[in-house]
Chains A and B, each alone.
Chain A
Amino acid sequence: MIRVELSKMVRSRRTWVTILLIDALPSLVAVLLSLTAIGPRPGTGPAFLSAVLTDGTLFPLAALAIVLPLLLPIAVALTAGEAVAGEAQQGTLRYLLVRPVGRLSFLVAKMVAVMAFVVITIVVVAVTAYVLGVLLLGNGEVTAGSAVVPGGTSVSGTTLSTPELVGRTALALAYAILCMAGVAAIALFLSTVADSPLGAALGTMAVLIASTLLFTLDAADVVRDVLPTRYWLAFVDLFRDPVLWRDVVRGVLLQLAYVVVFFGAAWANFATKDVTD
């Protein structure tokens, strides 16, 4: 069943259009930055953006910071929100279930397909951003112009060697993927509850927007640490020197908890649900 879902996802034109659109925004930013060379002042704007003007190899991270808060979650919410409700609305759910496809393996396959979509998207964004970053913004060696430490600059201002930078970038990408797994689990659960795929997607976005809003509200202090978006941007900490693990570790645990709880809820609801569409 996993293979079926993956093939549906890969063969769907919508998948690639979505990835293209997501990829377009950081690419646009790269072009604008290279044309104007006006970066946000350090400490403002999306993470890393001020750093990339001097070091294009950091642009994949800047791109990640651009797509992670909004574009990617929307795409994930739409894709995962459609997983069950979309098949139900289309009528194909009942025909898949009588093949038979077990209800749990159906949910697992959907989750895997959504995560595969996320991985493809993030890899595409990272690769495009790296290429554009190096081409348009140059790398640290060139702009530094002097005796050359290959690698990049950490957010803390110290220099990172290339293997270090690559390793940390990989970690950051993995972290972003995990954050999206949390979103996907929420959307998948809502997709087993809602009648319409759009309802499930909008519900998920509402959760994320509420979370972002509450995060800025002092009065919401008590719930702040369990908000799904609480540690999303903690991957920036992976580029401090030394790495600031605290938020990253908490973020990982929190996202794992979201995946377990909401995937469990999705299963609990779907396993005994009457399929009447």
Chain B
Amino acid sequence: MLELLEALVWSTLEFAPALIFAALGAVLSERSGTVNVGVEGMMRVGAFAAAAFALVMPTPLAVLLGMAAGALFAAIHAVLCISWRSDQVISGMALNLVALAGITFLLESMFGPSTSPSIAQLGRSGFGPLAQVPLLRALSGHTALTWLAAVLALAFHLVLGRTPVGLRIRAVGEKPSAAATVGVDVIRLRYLCVIGSGALAGLGGAALSTATLDRFEHNMPAGLGFMAVAAMVFGRWSPLGAFGAAAFFAFGRAVQIGLESSFPSVSDVVPKGVLLALPYFLTLVVLTLQGKKSRAPAALGTPWEPEAR
């Protein structure tokens, strides 16, 4: 029993960072007023870039470049949505399609059809003596990204809720015209938030290809970006909420994988597909119960037009 719990905690901590980073990225973009359904594509770009760069340089550096690639990809979204006032959902879905086909094209022309060559994974830190203690054992042996995800969520919560910058980001997402009258550069701040969102999604993707696995697989991130959007909505657009939802979804995934490997008979009672569908179903239920009291930022999806004030 104890071993099972340990295994569940361990694989949750392995699986969660990618989802947490991406969900935090979605929160950052949407709190500043720009819809981001392109998380899936940004993750894909980050995952591929990190895996490709890790072949020629140390993996931590490649992870940073994966982040940069995600940020660069998100910059397209920023230009389209903020400067050119395109429909934000369309732009995000277009980026998803471009990432899906474009990365497939790059993967094929660089490494062949199904995966990249395997790379050196990010280093894993053991806890020394702690690694012998039951239960705590499960916390040992993860990459730095696992702990970064937790710290980042907390930091994000504090910055957004307690600092002037956070106040400005929230203002720009709720009522940009009011923010502009007190001298906030709405356009610039929204740009930074969307690009930062891409960097976080890219980091999430990089976590998949350099920490969870040791290569880029052709279907990455296989819907995880949409699950991150679900986590953001489930967590009511707050950093800690998104963090909690992402961790919860990751735990669900760990339960599903754990059940499949150690108790195959359970999957006759509760099929795998039902467990996989559960996070989305729960998100839908929560949204339905919330009804019209949705916590979405008020100016979400509306381009900022200074001359139309």
Q: Do A and B come from one complex?
A: no
**Which B residues form the contact surface with A (CB < 8 A)?**
none
**Which A residues form the contact surface with B (CB < 8 A)?**
none
